[in-house]
Structure 1
Amino acid sequence: IKAPMPGLILEINVEVGQSVKENDPLLILEAMKMENSFLSPRDGVIKSIAVEKGNAVDKGQLLVEFE
């Protein structure tokens, strides 16, 4: 999952190795004073988390990778 816009990571709700179901909350990105929740697009296992809480991210930057 990549960032659709620049912003700030407010919260990360998953850990590496965690199994997630479709529509489970993954993280919250704040952009332009709005909080955007990212939900899992499918069932899967989290392979890596490329950001940390408080990080500023650019558009297109990798956030979460699935196995």
Structure 2
Amino acid sequence: MSQVMATMAGNVWKIVVSVGEQVEEGQDVVILESMKMEIPIAAETSGIVKEIKVQEGDFVNEGDVLIELE
């Protein structure tokens, strides 16, 4: 299992995957909004989305787990 973590603090603007979806390494899975900029967060490994730990509108800190892949 691997985790997709926030690379910086910000608000979850959009979640672009759903539970059960196959994602590839480098694919954007979440878009954060910070300082009026959109920051795409990509999966570091391929896998299937097991759990989405955040909701759109949530505030996250750098290092927070956003998505778990299996």
| Category of TM-score, reference length = shorter chain | 0.7 to 0.9
Q: What's the TM-score, normalizing by structure 1?
A: 0.87
Give the % identical residues.
39
Q: What's the TM-score, normalizing by structure 2?
A: 0.83
Gaps of 5+ in 2: none
Gaps of 5+ in 1: none
Which residue number corresponds to residue 56 of structure 1? 59
Which residue number corresponds to residue 17 of structure 1? 20
Task: Tell me the amino acid that sits aligned with residue 56 of structure 2.
Answer: K
The number of residue pairs the alignment matches comes to 67
